[in-house]
Structure 1
Amino acid sequence: MKNNVARRWVLGATAVLGLTFAGVAAAQAPTFFRIGTGGTAGTYFPIGGLLANAISGSEGKGVPGLVATAVASNGSVANINAVQGGASESGFTQSDVAFWAYTGTGLYEGKGKVEDLRLIATLYPETIHLVARKGANIKSVADLKGKRVSLDEPGSGTLVDARLVLSAFGLTEKDVHAEYLKPGPAGDRLRDGALDAYFFVGGYPTGAISELATSSGIELVPISGPQVDKLLSTYKFFAKDTVPTGVYQGVGETPTISVNAQWVTSAKQPADLVYNITKTVWNETSRKLLDAGHAKGKLITLQNATSGLGIPLHPGAEKFYREAGVLK
């Protein structure tokens, strides 16, 4: 009898200990949160690294138990596809691409709507750069006819916008010698004289263009005029923009246009998780990281986080913005 009682006690204690250890393990299991960015030579990747660092729960900061990582990718379209397919928890995209995806229009015409796409935050303006080789005699978009021009990779938001800009000036890809390269390789070919110009959409200054301007010199081609005014009236996600003098060595003030960089996720992500992530992005520690980490980080502000939305906010993000008073 005593042996049976003892045996039952040992079995019970073992079960309780097993449950206890399982509970501890479960409590300590990290939550992984990937941020799809862009090519390593662009602006998305370093900004993604700053935000991942800000929200990761380590050294007494961030969201407890959260392990966030910035993942290099082909950009906006690839990131939305990854979020939609569950291959990534979040990603950066241009506001135009997000709008098209959510509404099933434009680039996503005939491909169905990405109805679960939700916004965490609008980040900063993304400037359309048209970078030309010195001596290529490209003074306007119209001068690209017959030139060797990289439009960026398939799946990137830059390619979408490059096509729209060309179209505004009566050009198509057939009117140029089109190549489809990431900004890094495009810059290398420009430096070597194998390319005349390339499009890049991202916050200025971007490291790859800065290095190119310093090492071999560049020209920024204005994207302006009545053709652009018409473009802006048709596509409301575009806005007029200017690259100030001296942002890139030897380059004067250049009028151009921009879209917004946005951080998106899926409606399937838990509201509490996205609420805590959003709240952490706008705390004092994160503010210091963003201000010190990248020139574009200073433009990522709570006041702009809900501007130019285009798609619905994630409920977790919306809850925080209402508490913070930036949404009524």
Structure 2
Amino acid sequence: MFKSKNILFMFILSAFILVLAACGEDDKSSTDTGTSNTDSGASTETAGTDYGVDFLSILTGGTQGTYYPLGGTFADLITSNTGVKATAEVSQASAANMTALDAGEGDVAFVQTDIAYYATNGTMMFDGKKIDSVSALGALYPETIQLVTLADSGIKSYADLKGKKVSVGAPGSGTFANAEQLLEIHGLSMDDIKAQNLDFGESTDGIQSGQIDAAFITAGYPTGAVEALNATNGVYIVPVEADKAEELIAKYPYYAVDNIPAGTYGLEADTPAVSVGAMLAVKKDLPEDLVYAMTKAIYDNTDKISHAKGAFIKAETGLDGIGIDVHPGAQKYFDEVK
């Protein structure tokens, strides 16, 4: 009898141990499944933000212009909102940027609207070198053509430039084209001046040292190089009178009437001027979802742009003045915010 009870006890104990072991396996299985689900969740999240691009190079301009500081802000916005690392690179600006994008030496670039038009149509400095690998991300702000000199230089009009040393930017640059066209409207040509091919910083240094008399600078005002010059020498911006602005726009419709307000660079009065547009261009082969995210990152966060030109950057004007194809990703964003 005792022996039978002992056998029954051992049987029950064995069964109990087997149940515990089974529960342990279930727990382990449950834990493994939980880990697997967590890994799957991380993988799904990564897939959701994986645009197939790890790095974006934003081509700007010289450090003394407007493109470079804005490019740094845009790089931060894109990086923080897309997870793709973006950096602003110093470059030779508009025309060189279009060529660099075409050559795969950058992904995003600041460019004047007129230069983008020339490049994609194979005209002006792009004659015979048409670029069809670049599209628009969006319009930014007016780029004012500023003819800068010193207040005591004696240069008060375009006619006064004759025979003077004038910086006109690098050959093939946007500034060079603007200088050439404005000289033309005022009855002058490059042969009437002693043209110097300097960047913005070199131009203002040259004016300060007396090596040159004036400089064409196409950039959003206030431009760093001009502000630095005005800090040591009073500057004067040669005006473009209304009749000449109208004549220029009639021949080259991508220009617009502009005005540099009193107080800028210490100017005592408003200065009539003309401008082209600044825009962002991108490689056409960038993924649509990435360009959409980049466009949204910039235009949804314009309140985070500290530069004075940030006030002009708006989603509702993001396609104004664009004369080239818009990237589908950017177009999707602007269609949504209409």
TM-score, normalised via structure 1 length: 0.85
1:161 is aligned to 178
- What SS does the corresponding residue of 1:50 show, helix, strand or coil? helix
Gapped regions of structure 1 (runs ≥ 5): 1-19
Cα root mean square deviation, aligned? 1.9
- Residue 52 of structure 1: CA displacement? 0.6
Letter in 2 for 1:256: A
2:196 is aligned to 179
1:235 is aligned to 252
2:278 is aligned to 261
CA distance in 1, matches of 2:192, 2:252: 23
2:327 is aligned to 314
Is 1:211–2:234 an aligned residue pair? no
TM-score, normalised via structure 2 length: 0.83
Is 1:287–2:310 an aligned residue pair? no
Is 1:54–2:73 an aligned residue pair? no
CA distance in 2, matches of 1:313, 1:222: 34
- Residue 180 of structure 1: CA displacement? 0.6
1:103 is aligned to 121
CA distance in 2, matches of 1:225, 1:55: 40
- Residue 155 of structure 1: CA displacement? 4.0
CA distance in 2, matches of 1:96, 1:250: 28
- What SS does the corresponding residue of 2:297 show, helix, strand or coil? helix
- Residue 109 of structure 1: CA displacement? 2.1
Is 1:44–2:62 an aligned residue pair? no
Letter in 1 for 2:66: T
- Residue 215 of structure 1: CA displacement? 1.2
Is residue 125–residue 172 contact of structure 2 (8 Å, CA) maintained in 1?
no
String of CA shifts for 1:94-116, please: whole Å, max 9, x gaps: 000001111112232222x2122
Is residue 122–residue 261 contact of structure 1 (8 Å, CA) maintained in 2?
yes
Summarize the Cα distance change of 1:30–1:97 in structure 2 as closer, same or farther, 3 Å threshold.
Answer: closer
String of CA shifts for 1:112-169, please: whole Å, max 9, x gaps: x212221001000000100012322111112111011000123421111111111111
- What SS does the corresponding residue of 1:165 show, helix, strand or coil? helix
CA distance in 1, matches of 2:234, 2:295: 40
Letter in 2 for 1:53: D
Is residue 316–residue 337 contact of structure 2 (8 Å, CA) maintained in 1?
no
Summarize the Cα distance change of 1:320–1:107 in structure 2 as closer, same or farther, 3 Å threshold.
Answer: same
String of CA shifts for 1:50-73, please: whole Å, max 9, x gaps: 11111103xxxx102x00111111
CA distance in 2, matches of 1:251, 1:84: 44
CA distance in 1, matches of 2:173, 2:67: 12
Summarize the Cα distance change of 1:98–1:51 in structure 2 as closer, same or farther, 3 Å threshold.
Answer: same
Gapped regions of structure 2 (runs ≥ 5): 1-39
Is residue 219–residue 251 contact of structure 1 (8 Å, CA) maintained in 2?
no
CA distance in 1, matches of 2:55, 2:75: 11
CA distance in 1, matches of 2:118, 2:241: 24
Aligned pairs for 1:90-169 within 5 A: 90-111=108-129, 113-169=130-186
- Residue 288 of structure 1: CA displacement? 2.8
- Residue 252 of structure 1: CA displacement? 2.2
Is residue 93–residue 264 contact of structure 1 (8 Å, CA) maintained in 2?
yes
Is residue 210–residue 249 contact of structure 1 (8 Å, CA) maintained in 2?
no
- What SS does the corresponding residue of 1:56 show, helix, strand or coil? helix
- Residue 47 of structure 1: CA displacement? 0.7
Count of residue pairs brought into register by the alignment? 293
**Structure ranking higher in helix proportion:** 2
1:79 is aligned to 97
